[in-house]
Amino acid sequence: MNVPTMIRRILLFAFFFLFVGTSAFAQNQELEMIVNADQGETTISRHIYGHFAEHLGEDIYGGFWIQDDNGNWQYNQQVIDALKEVNVPNVRWPGGCFADYYHWQDGIGPRDERPAQLNTIWGGVTEDNSFGTHEFMGLIDRLDTEPIIVGNVGSGTVEEMNDWWKYLNHAGPSPMADLRAENGREEPWGVKYFGVGNESWGCGGQMRPQYYADLYKRFAEYLRPMSGTEPYQIAAGPSGDNYEWTRTMMEEAGWMIDGLDLHHYTVVGTWEDKGSATDFTEAEWHTAMQDTRFMDELLTRHSNIMDQYDPEKETALIVGEWGMWHDPMPGTEPGFLKQQNTLRDAVVAASMLNVFNQHAERVRMANLAQTVNVLQAMLLYEDGQLVKTPTYHVFDLYQGHMDATLLSMDVDRGTYTHDGESTPAISVSASKDDQDRVHITLANKDPNQPRTISVDLRGQDVSSVSGRVLTADQMNTHNTFEQPNRLQPTSFDGAELDGTTLTIEMPSKSVVALELQ
């Protein structure tokens, strides 16, 4: 080796030791956790793993509802099959903002006689109303899931909403039950989850909370128990940290609200310039991770306010819209909100779901926005091809938590620091199902460093651990129509059980789901 080469190598070694090696020592902390497997009380409602399908872009038309070669509308079987694999517990419809523009009677009766409307809120496209109440309920049957219908307060009337309620739920004879039968459905559907408007502070009518609280009571009053269906009434909740909204709603109308519907999106940049879904820096990754902590703050603070009015926690806090909102995919109609979905979206989804689980006592429903082709979609569909996004795979990994019992934990989350800003590195939740299997889901938000986690499992003897992991080399790895399986869960061999101690080697930027029995 000549002298300049030797010097180069020494300098390289010194550089590595100083800047890479030491930061590795500083950040690759060994973390400790305790899981109390015999001390769970609260059920993690399966409805936390819920979904949302709006008449927006290619979610309904071109997603769930597609045309055959002759132009006839039909259900998209590929979408239905994929969603059934992850046991979707509910679907919220028809919006979103669209709900406060929608007149349900346009979407019943013979399809070729339904009036066309303009979807003025999303892209100014023609809404042909070929997907209406019967088609939505047909989708619900095929998915074997629970419907959540959102009624129109912003541009509708009490009578219109009340008629929809009767059309859905009255056994008859009655004008609405007879009309339903004329349209091919004799039996009532028994839809209990009903939203009284959407985002009434914004696209749902730009209302003050005091005004909406009064309107809510007026509309909700007429959603009465009907032919054996007990209504579950959902009020438009706050936008993000609008605590005043929550306080006013609980004070003025809390006793009439079954679920208060908070909406919060993860926007990395500004609303005008949100940033690319696929082309982002580590700083933008870090900001997204910080938002998962903000969700915890939102749920804590809104719950604290609700506790003051409702200590028994009878009213649920719902997160009816959540997910990452990026700039639209280049070349697509901006009003269609179509975006790609990378490992970053998956780690955010995993962390958010862990946060919801931890708040399961108050948070009993949540809906990812949205299901197909829109925002943080579960599925992308185009011309007969389907892609399962990284976010879809997170919902698959987390299935064990649905209706399981939340376990208490003592957790050292470590820190992930970037540019002097720190956020917890590890997100985790644990539950026990009705067959005594313990489920632990974790996300390592640090894109650079793995973490070793030592878990002391108390209160239950287990003899085996198995798991799956979702990870990749690059922060922006994603699935495309050309490469649909680039990112999918694989079997995880980084967990070892020694008596009651479980050691987990969490790769950087990863999601892991473990099952112990």
Site for ligand AHR contains 296 (CB under 6 A): no
Min separation Cβ 161 and ligand AHR, Å: 18
Q: Tell me the β-bridge partners of 309.
A: none
Min separation Cβ 297 and ligand AHR, Å: 20
Show the site string, 347-376: x = touches ligand AHR by CB under 6 A, - = not.
----------------------xx----x-
Min separation Cβ 235 and ligand AHR, Å: 14
Q: Which of 243, 185, 196 minimizes the C-alpha distance to 100? A: 196
Please tell me the distance from the alpha carbon of residue 145 to that of residue 375, in angstroms, as a whole number.
Answer: 22
Beta carbons of 322 and 295 less than 8 angstroms apart: yes
Site for ligand AHR contains 262 (CB under 6 A): no
Min separation Cβ 375 and ligand AHR, Å: 6
What is the b/e burial string over 199-232, where b = at least 16 CB atoms within 10 angstroms of the residue's CB? bbbebbbebebeebbebbbebbeebeebeebebb
| Residue 293 φ/ψ, nearest 5 degrees | -75, -35
Site for ligand AHR contains 96 (CB under 6 A): yes
Q: Which is nearer to ligand AHR, 82 or 375 (CB)?
A: 375
One-letter amino acid of 306: M
Min separation Cβ 128 and ligand AHR, Å: 19
Give 18: exposed, middle or buried? Use CB within 10 Å, 0-12, 13-18, 19+.
exposed
Site for ligand AHR contains 95 (CB under 6 A): yes
- Give the interface segment with ligand AHR, choosing from 40-48, 95-103, 160-168, 462-470 (CB under 6 A): 95-103
Catalytic residues: 199, 321
Binding-site member from 258, 321, 345, 396 for ligand AHR (CB under 6 A): 321
Q: Which is nearer to ligand AHR, 263 or 432 (CB)?
A: 263
- How many residues bind to ligand AHR according to rule CB under 6 A? 10
Binding-site member from 58, 163, 199, 296 for ligand AHR (CB under 6 A): 199
Pairing mode, strands 451-458 and 501-506: antiparallel
| Residue 325 φ/ψ, nearest 5 degrees | -120, 110
List of E strands, 370-480: 379-382, 385-388, 405-406, 408-411, 415-418, 421-424, 426-432, 438-444, 451-458, 465-471
Distances from the Cα of 89 to the Cα of 47, 51, 229, 368, 471, angstroms: 6, 8, 19, 12, 26
- Give the interface segment with ligand AHR, choosing from 92-100, 225-233, 405-413, 463-471 (CB under 6 A): 92-100
Show the site string, 21-60: x = touches ligand AHR by CB under 6 A, - = not.
---------------------------------x------
Binding-site member from 76, 133, 198, 351 for ligand AHR (CB under 6 A): 198
Q: Which of 255, 289, 249, 288 minimizes the C-alpha distance to 269? A: 288
Min separation Cβ 370 and ligand AHR, Å: 6
Residues in the site for ligand AHR, rule: CB under 6 A? Answer: 54, 95-97, 198-199, 321, 369-370, 375
